[in-house]
Chain A
Amino acid sequence: DAEITQSPRHKITETGRQVTLACHQTWNHNNMFWYRQDLGHGLRLIHYSYGVQDTNKGEVSDGYSVSRSNTEDLPLTLESAASSQTSVYFCASSGSGTHEQYFGPGTRLTVT
């Protein structure tokens, strides 16, 4: 069955370290998104991509970067982790011309 996976599911890192969160989908969707979820803020868009080599900034992109070298993967990189980036991160994907976004199971990141 097609699916979207995220790894790791849990990560603890130190302030200042570079961290990369993986997202992989097997639906062959063109559109991929990264959100962060925080209490009191709901889900906020970090970065998104409409296809290979395409990346765009979302509402809360500072301190994050993404790259899209193939259809299936959109890794999220925290260049220099900060305590304010402690959060749960969700990756999502959707097909071109379709409505539904499918979400991954999330990665809980703690920056100490």
Chain B
Amino acid sequence: QQQVKQSPQSLIVQKGGISIINCAYENTAFDYFPWYQQFPGKGPALLIAIRPDVSEKKEGRFTISFNKSAKQFSLHIMDSQPGDSATYFCAARLGSGYALNFGKGTSLLVTP
């Protein structure tokens, strides 16, 4: 059973636009919510992550918004660039060292 639900499955955004990917979870024991970026033929790489005691985290053009009461979190990519075209996965984890529960992924295409 999918513990983290991710949407949309695919997304097309024009260069300079905002890309938004959403995730929802059920288990309130999750304590860490990372986003991974994956380019074709490569392994996923950590992009940005948040703990549930924070409502927002920003790193450059990437922002995570976290809504604990709604059990939802989202990734915002500002000023999207063609180089951001990749698959993005949200995930959630029960505790330090535990495996990650991944969403099904969002394929992002940023058009020039």
Q: Taking beta carbons and an 8 Å cutoff, which residues of A are in contact with B?
A: 30-31, 33, 35, 40-45, 48, 50, 58, 90, 92, 94, 96-106
Contact = CB atoms under 8 A, between A and B. Distances in A.
Contact of B104 (A40, A96, A106): A40
A73 B44 CA distance: 20
A30 B104 contact: no
Contacts of A100: 34, 46, 49
Given A96-B96, A99-B49, A105 B89 contact: no
A30 B41 CA distance: 26
25 contacts: A30-B97, A31-B97, A33-B99, A33-B100, A35-B102, A41-B104, A42-B89, A43-B89, A44-B102, A45-B100, A48-B99, A58-B99, A97-B96, A98-B96, A100-B34, A102-B46, A103-B36, A103-B43, A103-B44, A103-B45, A104-B43, A105-B41, A105-B43, A106-B41, A106-B43
Nearest to B90: A42
Interface residues of B, number: 22
Contacts of A97: 96-97
A103 B36 CA distance: 10
Given A31-B97, A44-B102, A45-B99, 17 more contacts: A30-B97, A42-B6, A42-B103, A42-B104, A43-B100, A45-B100, A48-B99, A90-B43, A96-B96, A96-B97, A98-B96, A99-B32, A103-B36, A103-B44, A103-B45, A104-B43, A105-B41
A72 B46 CA distance: 21
A104 B42 CA distance: 8
